[in-house]
Homo-oligomer: A and B are copies of this chain.
Amino acid sequence: MFEKHGFHGVTVNQIVDKTGTSKGGFYHHFTSKDELLFVIHDAFITYVLEKATIATETFANPTEKLQAIIKVFVKTFDLYKAHISVFYQETIYLKPAYENRIKKKRDQFKQILLNAIREGKEAGEFRDDIPVDITTMAILGMVNWTYKWYQQPGTKTIDEIGSIYVDLILHAVLKADSISGDTYQQLLISSVKQDFHI
């Protein structure tokens, strides 16, 4: 409901009507409408942060790390599409105390991606002339924006979309000699490997 009509476009009465509960019940479980908004935010960012952490720990190679982070993130769209929409649309309405807690986790996630890119440059796998910070935000933007248009079921599965993103991003950041010929195919993590067990 928040995804479609926005936090202020949905009343607590509508929520309890839809869920077949009551106002009393709602305020028994949540201290406020704002807390519900926080819970939605927290559920998503906690999940994706954990997945991304495992992704970086699973792979040693920066190129693989980068792929794994992107794949794992894009995959969440199937499960958390609504959460993600709320996460990016309604953050301004989070009360400061809640916002701080979310911001911390969001920054951690960003840092994971940023580290992978920094390591990729240091390892000589990525181009020297890409700025780490802007490239991080560019990738983040490309991937995050998916919430604006992705819908299930579409002409492409979320895994296919993830693979396309990886392809575009790798072509953007890898050194030219890594892309030519068979080398590139070897750099791609296989679909077996990518489903590293959580």
A residues neighboring B (CB under 8 Å): 4-9, 89, 92-93, 127, 129-131, 134-135, 137-146, 148-149, 156, 161, 164-165, 167-169, 171-173, 176, 179-180
Contacts and interface: CB of A to CB of B under 8 A. Distances in A.
Contacts of A148: 141
Contacts of A92: 4-6, 9, 89
A127 B142 CA distance: 19
A121 to B, nearest CB: 14
Nearest 3 A/B pairs, CB to CB: A141-B145, A8-B8, A172-B172
Contacts of A169: 172
A15 B130 CA distance: 43
Contacts of A156: 131, 134
Nearest to A4: B92
Contacts of A138: 142, 145, 164-165, 168
Nearest to A179: B176
